[in-house]
Amino acid sequence: MTLALPLAEVQGSQKRSQEHLHGLASEEVLVGKRVVIAEDDGITSLQLERMLKRAGMLVVGMANNGQKAVEVVLQEHPDIVLMDIRMPLLDGFQAAERILAEFHPCIVFVTAFTHYQEQARQIDACGYLIKPVNSQNLLPFLQNAYADWQRR
């Protein structure tokens, strides 16, 4: 079972997303957005990359540990960062805090763990999506999280 748990009010956020997307595909809203994927599982990383590229997004970097995630994000300045939580060297929260100290992309945690939402909220993440993900839940969720981030 996949849970999409945005950090904003779930029902209102979903309604806004549906209203905003009326007549538009998520892919159209996300086309051209630059993304870094920070994920230590190679298969998951490749699946995310394929979904994002099919949606017209530009994957400008990938990292298989938290330290590399910090380096890649600060070098590439993406619009969106997909961040796993449990990774080697630095976990996703440590990496996100270091990134946000210097640069403010839309960081979305993509994780198998449901119990870290409050930590994500405390560091001002844009969203929290529970694995496994597919393009039917990832793309609308990213569109909504990115739209909310732009309004900040």
Mean pLDDT by 10 residues, the chain (152 residues): 43 41 55 97 97 96 98 98 96 97 97 91 93 93 93 85
| Predicted pLDDT of residue 8 | 43
| Predicted pLDDT of residue 122 | 92
| Predicted pLDDT of residue 151 | 87
Which phi and psi (to 5°) does residue 62 adopt? -140, 145
| Predicted pLDDT of residue 48 | 98
pTM of the model: 0.83
Instruction: Determine contact, residues 61/76, Cβ cutoff 8 Å.
Output: yes
Domains in the chain: ranges and CATH: 10-17+27-150 (3.40.50.2300)
Helix H, strand E, coil C: the string for the chain is CCCECCCCCHHHHHHHHHHHCCCCCHHHHHCCCEEEEECCCHHHHHHHHHHHHHCCCEEEEEECCHHHHHHHHHHHCCCEEEECCCCCCCCHHHHHHHHHCCCCCEEEEEECCCCCHHHHHHCCCCEEEECCCCHHHHHHHHHHHHHHHHCC
| Predicted pLDDT of residue 88 | 96
